[in-house]
Amino acid sequence: MDFLCSKAALRQGLAGLIGLVSLAALADAPAAQALARDGSCPSGYSSSGNYCVPGSGARFALARNGGSCPSGYFSSSNYCVASSATSKHAMPRSGSCPSGYFSSSDFCVSSK
């Protein structure tokens, strides 16, 4: 009986660990959000007035501002869109990047 309890406890612990690892991976992916519209909306977004709103499954995007997109992002219209659900957060660079970010094109990208 002790063996069965231990086996069940191990199974439950493994399930919890897998859940935590999955949540940690999700926490790294930036969430898609509405953007001010500048021409055509990026892939996965639709136009609503002066905004581009994310559809289901849309990835995080930010204005490209004419330059190239940062590492982990692709160009779509006047925007840079995260290449995968695990792409790191990026933001426009203004001077040096803050601690925990590295410079990529005209952007700062999270190194975590």
Examine the pLDDT at 18 and tell me if it is beyond 60.
Answer: no
- The strand pairing partners of 110, in sequence order, are 101
User: Which tens digits make up the pLDDT trace of 63-94?
Assistant: 998 889 999 999 999 999 999 989 999 999 99
Helix (H) or strand (E) holding 101: strand 101-104
User: Which tens digits make up the pLDDT trace of 21-76?
Assistant: 333 343 356 899 999 999 999 999 999 999 999 999 999 999 998 889 999 999 99
The predicted model gives 5-31 an average pLDDT of 44
pLDDT at 103: 96
Of 86, 84, 80, 82, residue with least CA distance to 106: 80
Examine the pLDDT at 5 and tell me if it is beyond 50.
Answer: no
